[in-house]
Amino acid sequence: MQEVQDTKPTPPKKPLIYYYIVSLIIIMLLNILFFPSVLERPVMQVPYSQFLTMIDEGKVKEVALEGSEGQIVFIGTNEDGKEGYYKTGIWPDDGQRLLTQLRTDENIQFESEIPTKANPIMSLLVSWILPIVFFLLIGELLSRWMMKKMKNQLPGGLGNSMMFGKSGAKIYVEEAKTGVTFADVAGQDEAKESLLEVVDFLHEPEKYAAIGANLPKGVLLVGPPGTGNTRMAKAVAGEANVPFFSISGSEFVEMFVGMGAAKVRDLFKQANEKAPCIVFIDEIDAIGKKRDGSGMGGNDEREQTLNQLLAEMDGFDGRKGVVLLAATNRPESLDPALLRPGRFDRRVPVELPDLEGRKAILKVHAKHVTIEDTIDWDVIARATAGTSGAELANIVNEAALRAVRLGRHSVTQEDLEESVETVIAGAQRKNAVLSPKEKKIVAYHEIGHALVAAKQSHSAPVTKITIVPRTSGALGYTMQVDQEERNLMSREDVENKIATLTGGRSAEELIFHSMSTGAANDIEQATKLARAMVTRYGMTDEFDMVALETVQNQYLGGDTSLTCSAETASKIDQQVIETVKKAHQKAKKILMENEEKLHELAEYLLQKETITGEEFMSILNEEETH
């Protein structure tokens, strides 16, 4: 993909005349005080007697008389045989006689003049003009280098402020293409369908103008990180075959007040000149946060930038074909004025892909990798529930890297399954050595999870159990994969999941009559689920269908905050404790009823270290032998 910059900001021209004048004065002083003319021939003054001696020795070639100074100028050779220019005085009594004799007796050429000074024009050029040009060139290069260094190294907006409010947006022009189309975006069929109208409008605007329909001025893409917001925007431009402006919201934020607003003006000016086109602002929440009344000047720059963006969106004509796309992971933090009709008219969710979407995404990324024909994409897609498109791309890449490490020329099913575990739980810690006692505790812990899950209805089947330590810190894990895509969980499903999470600690208590720190993550997840049952899902009789907490930043981890009194919060804590206790007792009961199978499966896992779900279920379903 080729990126071109439509308007390259040039460094401002500094008033360098001061430096030029200083350089000229320095050159004049050097020429006058220290250096002779660079083109003037050096002339040596010698005694008259030496001149006569050199004539006798045949070392004089040319002679001339300078009448104004009464001197003889001659060209002779020195002791090393090198030619040089000499001057000597003329003796009044024999000077004229000597010159007459030189014309006749000696083999010496007599000249009317022997020039010892350079041509005046050449002397001026070499002594003055060329040094000045050299100094000017050095000064200009130093100026540009300093401007570039300041732009790259100064923090925040100080370096960018030298750009005089240029937007700095990357422009993918029509000839260069974005390199992405809807065929390269998988798993987001609903989002693509919503954006097809934008593409169609940019192709055939007259069709919409005939009926009087206006294209939405702005389309806001919202969703978790890694779901392909930026790729989706590039695909729209690639399909429409129009220029694509791409800039991050943080690039508008400057140190100096007013610079961000100037960049917004410049961006929309360029967009209007290249209409029809698409302008994409990534992470728009950097400039589009809700305005508050706190004031104190701290947010003047961001608010001025937002105000300018609002004004520009009101001012540009949608019929020209300028479409504004923006992406954010925090739509709830955006200013309401930005989301009203007439600005961002349409909101397109770009959510985590479902089962079919994950299969399609895996196949898209597998196009660039050598894959065996026997790959079962359905198995990989089921094992990656809840992953984003970026994570799926990473899984395919990790599988390719593993195949190279093992000396294979294509990716196998085993490579993909191992890469799923690498992305989810981390790579295997081959140098981690557990003591036999610790290894036994981990084995019973993981079989405890699997056994409780298998003996409950509405639980996802166990697909893999391992006690190989991972780089994420896990000493082992039990993988469960649902046979079909599930979007809802019943109260029984949640309670069963909490019981499964407590199964590991329950097995430790039953077999070793002790507790270890290995259940820390299980406890955290069980508590979080139990609290959600009480405060968000309305799955308790005491509080019924009352929302007791709110979720913020749902696409960035889903931080929660209670919206109840301290007395109610205390009751919530008590209810959470009772829910987890109840699940814990249930897990203990299941393990006590199946203690023999617990021992048998744990011993088998200790021998194999990693077993599949089929092996686990085969042993579990065998008739107990006495």
Q: Is the pLDDT at 575 greater than 90, yes or no?
A: yes
Residue 39: predicted pLDDT = 47
Q: Where in the chain is the domain with CATH 3.40.50.300?
A: 170-291+300-349
Residue 230's pLDDT band, with cuts at 50, 70 and 90, is confident
Which tokens is 565 given?
């009194």
Segment holding 220, helix H or strand E? strand 218-222
Residue 67's pLDDT band, with cuts at 50, 70 and 90, is low
Q: Where in the chain is the domain with CATH 1.10.8.60?
A: 355-424
Please tell me the distance from the alpha carbon of residue 45 to that of residue 323, in angstroms, as a whole number: 85
Residue 155: predicted pLDDT = 41
pLDDT tens column, 602-611: 999 999 888 8
- More confident of the two residues 604 and 188: 604
Asked whether the beta carbons of 555 and 541 are under 8 A apart, the reply is no
Mean pLDDT for 387-409 is 90
If phi > 0 it is left, if psi is from -120 to 50 it is alpha, else beta; for residue 165 that is left
Mean pLDDT for 509-524 is 91
Share of the chain above pLDDT 90, in %: 17
Residue 582: predicted pLDDT = 94
Mean pLDDT for 153-159 is 43
For 410-416, which contacts have Cβ atoms below 8 Å and span 24 or more sequence positions?
410/370, 410/371, 410/372, 411/366, 411/369, 411/370, 411/371, 411/372, 411/375, 412/372, 412/375, 413/372, 413/374, 413/375, 413/376, 413/379, 416/375, 416/380
Q: Where in the chain is the domain with CATH 1.20.58.760?
A: 436-621
In CATH, what number does 170-291+300-349 get?
3.40.50.300
pLDDT tens column, 298-309: 457 778 888 888
Share of the chain above pLDDT 70, in %: 75
Asked whether the beta carbons of 280 and 327 are under 8 A apart, the reply is yes
Q: Which of 16-25, 249-258, 300-309 has the highest mean pLDDT?
A: 300-309
**Domain 436-621 grouped into CATH 3.40.50.2000:** no
How many CB atoms within 10 Å of residue 541?
6
Residue 443: predicted pLDDT = 92
Residue 542: predicted pLDDT = 87
- The CATH class of the 43-116 domain is alpha beta
Q: Where in the chain is the domain with CATH 3.30.720.210?
A: 43-116
Lowest-confidence pick of 193-202, 330-339, 538-547: 193-202
Asked whether the beta carbons of 277 and 258 are under 8 A apart, the reply is no
Residue 590's pLDDT band, with cuts at 50, 70 and 90, is very high
Model confidence, pTM? 0.66
In CATH, what number does 355-424 get?
1.10.8.60
Residue 592's pLDDT band, with cuts at 50, 70 and 90, is very high
Asked whether the beta carbons of 441 and 518 are under 8 A apart, the reply is yes
Q: Which residues are catalytic?
A: 446
Mean pLDDT for 31-46 is 59
Residue 547: predicted pLDDT = 85
Residue 5: predicted pLDDT = 43
Which tokens is 3 given?
């990126």
